[in-house]
Amino acid sequence: MLKYTEYDIVFQEIPDETTLAINISNCPYQCPGCHTPELQENVGKRLDMKVIARLLDKYSTITCICFMGGDKTPKELWLLAYYIKEAYNIKVAWYSGRKELENEYGKKSFYSIFDYIKLGPYKEDLGPLNNPNTNQRLFKVDNDQLIDITHKFWKE
């Protein structure tokens, strides 16, 4: 079961988007130096279509919703993302700690539901997305292809 601990409107997680970021608990990776270690616990409230509908009705000016986690239950996450794509005209992103994703889910591509996917576990010595040395990558999904846009986080 997907559980969330909190949410916020953010402007830095997905470039050029006003994003509703939802923190999902029960992260399986236990990354040393994690900036939100409480998300490693199985805590929070159930995240389902009713909660998503309530949040999206309340925050109607957002352009993107971003799931921060959900790696332990990707099928549930995919179904929520699918619901959002069908019911609302906004983009969907997933910040995953996985190194890579299998791109098959039933008859649809996993990627086809998401507009953005961040991949990579947090490695403290390499830093987050705004560090050019990071191992993490943010991809824009275009026609089932992952286009690396991580450079948009780096200051010139």
Q: What is the per-residue pLDDT across 122-135, written as a single tens digit (0 to 9) for each?
A: 999 999 999 999 99
pTM greater than 0.75: yes
Domains belonging to the chain, first-starting first, are 3-153 (3.20.20.70)
Three-state secondary structure readout of the chain: CCEEEEEEEECCCCCCCCEEEEEECCCCCCCCCCCCHHHHCCCCEECCHHHHHHHHHHCCCCCEEEEECCCCCHHHHHHHHHHHHHHCCCEEEEECCCCCCCCCECCECCHHHCCEEEECCCCCCCCCCCCCCCCCEEEEEECCEEEECHHHHCCC
Output the tens digit of pLDDT for each of the chain's 156 residues. Answer: 999 999 999 999 999 999 999 999 999 888 888 878 888 899 999 999 999 999 999 999 999 999 999 888 888 999 999 999 999 989 999 999 988 877 655 556 777 889 999 999 999 999 999 999 999 999 999 988 889 999 999 986
